[in-house]
Structure 1
Amino acid sequence: MTATRTAAAPTRAAAPALTLDDRLALAHHTMDDRLATRSAAWAVDTAHIPLEAPELLAPAPATSYSTPVAAVLQEAHRLIADRGWCRRWLTGPDGSYCLIGAIRTAADGEGPLADQAEVVLLEVIGGDSIARWNGNQTGPQPVLAALGRAACRADRRGI
């Protein structure tokens, strides 16, 4: 008979237990890696979104527009810039205006001129509702910028 020899599997010594400081340092490095990865992914995901040029945030030009819809939008811009901006009211208790209130006031009512101005503004803001977009703003700057862009667009179209 032949003797069979079995080789013992090599054993590995148990790793020493990590101290609290070691575990915290490991967690810190893991979080840094996760944040860096997510930051890079966010940069890639948002790279296609155009940033607004600083001149678009400036007030509308002082020149008068020759087209009626552009003039209404410019007047709405002036009303909000002079009297203030509000949400949830067409005209606020302090005399301020929301977008729709300023456009209707500038157009002397709710006629076709106000409707056309609201259509152009809706194209500029890219939303489904002017009132909802106005209500989501936190200050007058985006509102004034949108009115300025809408006035320029209406003037370019000749309406």
Structure 2
Amino acid sequence: MPYAPPSPAPTSATTPTTALTLEERLALVNTAMNARLDEAAVAHEVNIAHIPIDPFDLADIITSPIPSTPAAPPAPYATPAAALLQRAHHQLLTGGWCTGALVNADGAHCMLGAIRAEAGVDHRAESTAIGVLLDVLHRTFGHAAVSLPACNDAHSSARVPLRLLGQAAALADARGL
């Protein structure tokens, strides 16, 4: 018996086909996605049904307040500029960081203020540390970073200034400064 291709289904000449509007297509997609999400939720519940969950009391987990003592500084670097930068880093970490002033009313320091406070009267170590910190600034941000105060004030949290001081301490130690 020879093969006869299927004939196309008869179409009704009385029902014109119209394209769906954007709202109708979005409604169809929304319905399809909701069905898929419901199916995934059921599958997830089935997959985790065998895992036992014991209720717990939060008071059993948290028994006392976390101590607020500051962390001890790491072992100091052997070189003067690196040790100074490390102390300045610890100063910002424990004493607080600020913008717009070397030291604010709460006693928080900016990067330059922390270096100056930790250097005391050792102006040679201070200038060496500031030079290394400027090198790190230029390596990190290019020559767009014009000064330490401008870079310090450009940030909204202490995260970047702390990272820069840490990198500068490591660089000063590597250079033997």
Alpha-carbon distance in 1 for matches of 2:82, 2:21 = 70
Q: Which has the larger radius of gyration?
A: 2
Alpha-carbon distance in 1 for matches of 2:101, 2:173 = 28
Provide structure 2 residue ranges, at least 5 long, that are not aligned to the other structure.
1-17, 28-70
Residues 71-105 of structure 1 show CA distances to partners (whole Å, capped at 9, x for unaligned) of: 11011011111110000010110000000000011
Aligned residue type for 2:135: E
CA contact (8 A) 1:104 1:110 kept: no
Percent pairwise identity: 41
CA RMSD of aligned residues (A): 3.0
Matched, 1:151 2:153: no
Alpha-carbon distance in 2 for matches of 1:118, 1:97 = 15
Corresponding position of 1:21: 23
Q: TM-score, normalised by structure 2?
A: 0.55
Q: Higher relative contact order at CA 8 Å, sep ≥6: structure 1 or structure 2?
A: 1
Q: TM-score, normalised by structure 1?
A: 0.61
Aligned residue type for 2:127: D
Corresponding position of 1:105: 117
Q: Would you say how many aligned residue pairs link Structure 1 and Structure 2?
A: 116
Alpha-carbon distance in 2 for matches of 1:105, 1:81 = 14
Provide structure 1 residue ranges, at least 5 long, that are not aligned to the other structure.
1-15, 26-58
Runs of 4+ aligned structure 1 residues displaced above 3 Å come to: 16-25
Aligned residue type for 1:153: L
